[in-house]
């Protein structure tokens, strides 16, 4: 039996409403709770995030070493180029060079408040052997 009922990834930021809007679009989520200092969202698959107001929030500096990574999110996508265009259109930004093609291609980004996250291309299934 689990000790907890659910987990929520919580990001501290200066403007929780704006950051919730970014992730709501990114994940196709919906708001499930709003208070003066916190906004919570839930994705269609049940993934939950919350954004907590912290006027003194300082984003991580990743990929630079000072104040480094602290933590990051990873999202799996089918089309990295399409996802990147969408993220940039929502106000996110790339933070490192693109990897070459491969089964585990990844790209780093930050959300509008500076929190890092990675897009990882879903592994391409191997073609069935012929003959």
Average pLDDT in the 66-84 region?
A: 76
**Domain identity same for 108 and 69:** yes
Q: Using only C-alpha atoms, what is the Rg of the chain?
A: 17
The CATH number that applies at residue 100 is 3.10.180.10
Supply the mean pLDDT for the chain. Answer: 81
Q: What is the pTM of this model?
A: 0.68
Query: Is residue 100 one of the residues assigned to a domain?
Result: yes
Q: pLDDT tens, 17-53?
A: 999 999 999 999 999 989 889 999 999 888 899 998 9
Q: pLDDT tens, 111-130?
A: 998 888 888 787 655 555 55
Band the pLDDT of 79: cuts 50, 70, 90. Answer: confident
Query: Is residue 36 one of the residues assigned to a domain?
Result: yes
Per-residue pLDDT at 5 exceeds 70: no
Band the pLDDT of 3: cuts 50, 70, 90. Answer: very low
**Domain identity same for 50 and 71:** no
**Domain identity same for 96 and 117:** yes
Domain, as residue range, for 28: 7-54
Q: pLDDT tens, 92-111?
A: 999 875 555 555 687 889 89
Q: What does the block give as tokens for 56?
A: 């003194």
The CATH number that applies at residue 22 is 3.30.720.120
Contact 18, 60 (CB under 8 A): no
């Amino acid at each position: 039996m689990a000790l907890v009922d659910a987990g929520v990834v919580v990001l501290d930021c200066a403007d929780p409403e704006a950051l919730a809007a970014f992730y709501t679009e990114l994940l196709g989520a919906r708001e499930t709770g709003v208070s003066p200092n916190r906004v919570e969202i839930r994705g269609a698959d049940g993934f939950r995030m919350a954004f907590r107001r912290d006027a003194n929030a300082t984003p991580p500096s990743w990929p630079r070493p000072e104040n480094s990574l602290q933590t990051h999110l990873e999202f799996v996508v089918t089309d990295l180029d399409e996802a990147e265009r969408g993220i940039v259109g929502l106000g996110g930004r790339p933070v490192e060079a693109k990897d070459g093609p491969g089964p585990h291609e990844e790209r780093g980004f930050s959300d509008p408040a500076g929190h890092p996250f990675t897009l990882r291309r879903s592994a391409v299934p191997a073609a069935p052997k012929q003959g």
